[in-house]
A and B are shown apart, each in its own frame.
Chain A
């Protein structure tokens, strides 16, 4: 029972973090028509910026300033980089974001070094919030939960309830028509790209000290975020949310399951001493998102909620 409760709690928090990353990526995908390979790099930048800002000031300031900085960098990348490359087609765009990801990786290594930095949970949040089944539950995870939910509500409100949200939605599917109605679509796209990067930056601020802030964090997070976006359905925010939760809970639960393959398939005569038999479910956890990706592409190529094929 306690395993289930803890897995669910942690899974939901991890899922919300994944959604924070994938919501920006899926919006940017709808807009550009290609996946932004550098998206997780903006997540990494968020974490490093927060580390540096926290060093000279406080975590709370970093929580606001780091995402804004990442967003501004994102807007610059769109305006002076992607917009020009866009004229040369999708392959050029894809290669551009690919190169950008490596560029950011190297810049991070030059500035902050090749090993992890000591980006810590702030003291004011570093305490046990409650004890469940005799285990301590850290307050910071609940803080992450609330930041993610606040962002979720904000994003939903902006897109569904405001005029700029309507313009964004219309521009994602009919950019030319929206332009002919007198709305500055390039500006809207720059804003969406910046906001998507800022969301990734925010995920970095609250995720960097929960996991670890090192130059490999973008490479580790990137593929999982892609999986979320593709499984959810390219361009679909609702799908990204469901997929993020699914993968968050699935992966977190798998880690906490102690059973091995022999325990499950023992009735087939699989011996716990054999190489296959001693594989544990928890060791298979990192594989699960990609298994899901492969299965979804075979069964439902548009993803859970999407309407276009990959």
Chain B
């Protein structure tokens, strides 16, 4: 079947993804905020186990792409997760298929403890995920010391880590992480990057919406660059590093 391959005729800068059955396949995805047309036909594929970085300047529609996949913004077009159309599906059903979402706004539950936040990441107590709360805290010792604190008093970096761990508690197969390092101090950015690398190592696929090239290129298997509401480049980090033209045109300010 040839439908695994992106039609490269009109978009010569997008290298085809590795062959196989994609975990997430976004085809001709459009999205609107009121009357303004934000996404103009986004196409992307994520293979099982891949870490994809979605790059681009502010306002080109990276976060909107994440939101449209998750149903936060009404998606027009096709979003298939493990072969199933998820556009228009209630968000808890999408989550239960194995698609996790760590939004830009982090959305921790401030009046609950770190432990309680993590517990709420478990979708079904009768059928818990790979990790229990203590294993999760062992893996990420920064949170261990804060386990019984109210999540509202955590620092920005700790909140980001908590949000990612909370989503991991639900045992997702693919996590969409939106701008995890935004507003964090450089040292903390490094820690959050390490953590995402750690998650990737455990076999979870990741779609990382990120602006910091250093983080993205360190972790990603493939890179997509967005411009004007569509994908303008797709390729490996090695190829991307040689593409000064892409960086100049679509990323540098």
Q: Which residues of B contact A186 (CB under 8 A)?
A: 90
Q: Is the CB of A185 within 8 A of B92?
A: yes
Residue B101 CB within 8 A of the other chain: yes
Given A173, A176, A183, which contacts B123 in the complex, CB threshold below 8 Å? A183
Residue A308 CB within 8 A of the other chain: no
Q: Is the CB of A182 within 8 A of B90?
A: no
Given B95, B100, B111, B125, which contacts A179 in the complex, CB threshold below 8 Å? B95
Q: Is the CB of B112 within 8 A of A180?
A: no
Q: Is the CB of B119 within 8 A of A182?
A: no
Residue B180 CB within 8 A of the other chain: no
The listed residue with most B CB atoms (<10 A of its CB), out of A167, A169, A182, is A182
Residue in chain B with minimal CB distance to A174: B107
Q: Which residues of B contact A185 (CB under 8 A)?
A: 91-92
Q: Is the CB of A180 within 8 A of B70?
A: yes
Bound CA–CA A30/B110 (angstroms): 16
Residue B120 CB within 8 A of the other chain: yes
Q: Is the CB of A170 within 8 A of B72?
A: no
- Shortest CB-to-CB span from A307 to chain B, Å, is 11
Interface residues of A in 146-183 (CB under 8 A from B): 163, 166-167, 169-170, 173-174, 176-183
Residue A184 CB within 8 A of the other chain: yes
Q: Which residues of B contact A173 (CB under 8 A)?
A: 109-110
Given contacts A166-B116, A166-B119, A170-B120, contact A180 B91 (CB under 8 A): yes
Q: Is the CB of A181 within 8 A of B90?
A: no
Bound CA–CA A180/B104 (angstroms): 13
Bound CA–CA A173/B107 (angstroms): 9
Count how many pairs of residues, one from A and one from B, have CB atoms less than 8 Å apart in the complex: 60
Q: Which residues of A contact B103 (CB under 8 A)?
A: 176-177, 180
Residue B159 CB within 8 A of the other chain: no
Q: Is the CB of B91 within 8 A of A169?
A: no
Q: Is the CB of B90 within 8 A of A163?
A: no
Interface 0/1 of B51-68, CB less than 8 Å to A = 000000000000000000
Q: Which residues of B contact A180 (CB under 8 A)?
A: 70, 91-92, 94-95, 100-101, 103, 167
Bound CA–CA A176/B92 (angstroms): 9
Interface residues of B in 102-154 (CB under 8 A from A): 103, 107, 109-112, 116, 119-121, 123-125
Residue in chain B with minimal CB distance to A186: B90
Which bracket fits the contact residues of A? 10 to 19
Q: Which residues of B contact A167 (CB under 8 A)?
A: 120
Q: Which residues of B contact A184 (CB under 8 A)?
A: 90, 92
Given contacts A166-B119, A166-B120, A176-B72, contact A181 B109 (CB under 8 A): no
Residue B96 CB within 8 A of the other chain: yes
Q: Is the CB of A181 within 8 A of B120?
A: yes
Q: Is the CB of B170 within 8 A of A182?
A: yes
- Shortest CB-to-CB span from B120 to chain A, Å, is 6
Q: Is the CB of A181 within 8 A of B112?
A: no
Residue B222 CB within 8 A of the other chain: no
Residue B25 CB within 8 A of the other chain: no
Residue B30 CB within 8 A of the other chain: no
Q: Which residues of B contact A178 (CB under 8 A)?
A: 120
Q: Is the CB of A169 within 8 A of B111?
A: yes
Q: Which residues of A contact B107 (CB under 8 A)?
A: 174, 176-177
Q: Is the CB of A176 within 8 A of B91?
A: yes
Q: Is the CB of A181 within 8 A of B121?
A: yes
Q: Is the CB of B90 within 8 A of A179?
A: yes
Q: Is the CB of B125 within 8 A of A181?
A: no
Bound CA–CA A174/B101 (angstroms): 14
Residues of B within 8 A of A (CB): 70, 72, 90-92, 94-96, 100-101, 103, 107, 109-112, 116, 119-121, 123-125, 166-167, 170
User: What are 27 A-B residue pairs whose CB atoms fall within 8 Å in the complex?
Assistant: A163-B119, A163-B125, A166-B119, A167-B120, A169-B112, A170-B112, A170-B120, A173-B109, A174-B107, A174-B109, A176-B91, A177-B103, A177-B109, A179-B90, A179-B95, A180-B94, A180-B95, A180-B100, A180-B103, A181-B95, A181-B123, A182-B124, A183-B92, A184-B90, A184-B92, A185-B91, A186-B90
Residues of A within 8 A of B (CB): 163, 166-167, 169-170, 173-174, 176-186
Known: A182-B123, A184-B90. 20 other contacts (CB 8 A): A166-B120, A170-B109, A173-B109, A174-B109, A176-B72, A176-B103, A176-B107, A177-B103, A177-B107, A178-B120, A179-B95, A180-B95, A180-B101, A180-B103, A181-B92, A181-B121, A182-B92, A183-B120, A183-B123, A185-B92
**Which 7 A-B residue pairs are closest in the complex by CB-CB distance?**
A182-B123, A179-B91, A182-B95, A177-B107, A180-B101, A170-B109, A179-B92
